Chain A
Amino acid sequence: DADVTQTPRNRITKTGKRIMLECSQTKGHDRMYWYRQDPGLGLRLIYYSFDVKDINKGEISDGYSVSRQAQAKFSLSLESAIPNQTALYFCATSDPERGGPETQYFGPGTRLLVL
């Protein structure tokens, strides 16, 4: 079974709808991240969390919110989806205390289309 899972894998929604992307991990890592990837722009950090009580904004947090329900779960919400939020979304985990340098482990991604 995959260590980092994301649901749904694909989602089509309409402008103005609220949607939630979910991420779960079995790696036991404290740190979790949400990125979006757009062609030519690489991976951009939306939010990150170093433990259940710690939530931090990344470089492009506007229009997004997150919830860290447990060590293993980190959800990303789009409160009112807009077309320029169409992208590929990745969840990632890391734990620098265990594996040395801060290797990030990525989920399979969620492809989101906002019409």
Chain B
Amino acid sequence: QKEVEQNSGPLSVPEGAIASLNCTYSDRGSQSFFWYRQYSGKSPELIMFIYSNGDKEDGRFTAQLNKASQYVSLLIRDSQPSDSATYLCAVLNSSASKIIFGSGTRLSIRP
């Protein structure tokens, strides 16, 4: 079992709709959770982080964390073509020694 798992996609969402990206992790003691966006050929950039159960909103983005289910998600409201990218879920492990990345979900927003 991978430490951090994501569906590779591609996930195709119409413009203006809500895109929902999911991630599960295996280390129950994991402390912090991150979503990075990576455009093709570019480096990852942080969108959001969350470390408490529940929802955290930032503009069109909402991160959701459920530690009991070891599940974290990212919702993108009013999806735009510029949101088309690969989204990487990352988890800070229980010993806080390193961050483990998922393999990413490729999101495509169709006009």
Q: Which residues of A contact B (CB under 8 A)?
A: 33, 35, 40-45, 48, 56, 58, 90, 94, 96, 100-104, 106-109
Tell me whether B98 and A42 are in contact (CB under 8 A): no
- B-side contacts of A101, CB under 8 Å: 32, 34, 49, 51, 92
How far is the CB of B42 from the nearest CB of chain A, in Å? Answer: 8
Could you list 10 examples of A-B contacts with CB < 8 Å?
A42-B6, A42-B88, A44-B101, A102-B96, A104-B44, A104-B46, A104-B90, A107-B43, A108-B42, A109-B42
How far is the CB of A71 from the nearest CB of chain B, in Å? Answer: 19
Q: A58-B98, A101-B51 are in contact. Are A90 and B43 (CB under 8 A)?
A: yes
Task: Mark each residue of chain B from 96 to 111: 1 if its CB lies under 8 Å from any CB of chain A, else 0.
Answer: 1111111110000000
How far is the CB of B49 from the nearest CB of chain A, in Å? Answer: 5
Tell me whether B101 and A43 are in contact (CB under 8 A): yes
How far is the CB of A69 from the nearest CB of chain B, in Å? Answer: 21
Q: Does B8 contact A (CB under 8 A)?
A: yes
Tell me whether B43 and A108 are in contact (CB under 8 A): yes
The range of chain B's interface size is 20 to 34
Q: Does B45 contact A (CB under 8 A)?
A: yes
Kindly count the residue-residue contacts between A and B in the assembled complex, taking CB atoms under 8 Å apart.
52
Tell me whether B92 and A102 are in contact (CB under 8 A): yes
- A-side contacts of B49, CB under 8 Å: 100-101, 103
- B-side contacts of A106, CB under 8 Å: 43-45
Tell me whether A103 and B43 are in contact (CB under 8 A): no
**7 A-B pairs with the lowest CB-CB distances in the bound complex, closest first:** A42-B103, A106-B43, A43-B101, A101-B32, A101-B49, A42-B101, A103-B46
Tell me whether A43 and B88 are in contact (CB under 8 A): yes
- B-side contacts of A48, CB under 8 Å: 98
Q: How far is the CA of A41 from the CA of B102 in the complex (A)?
A: 8
Q: Which residue of B lies closest to A50 (CB)?
A: B97
Q: How far is the CA of A104 from the CA of B43 in the complex (A)?
A: 11
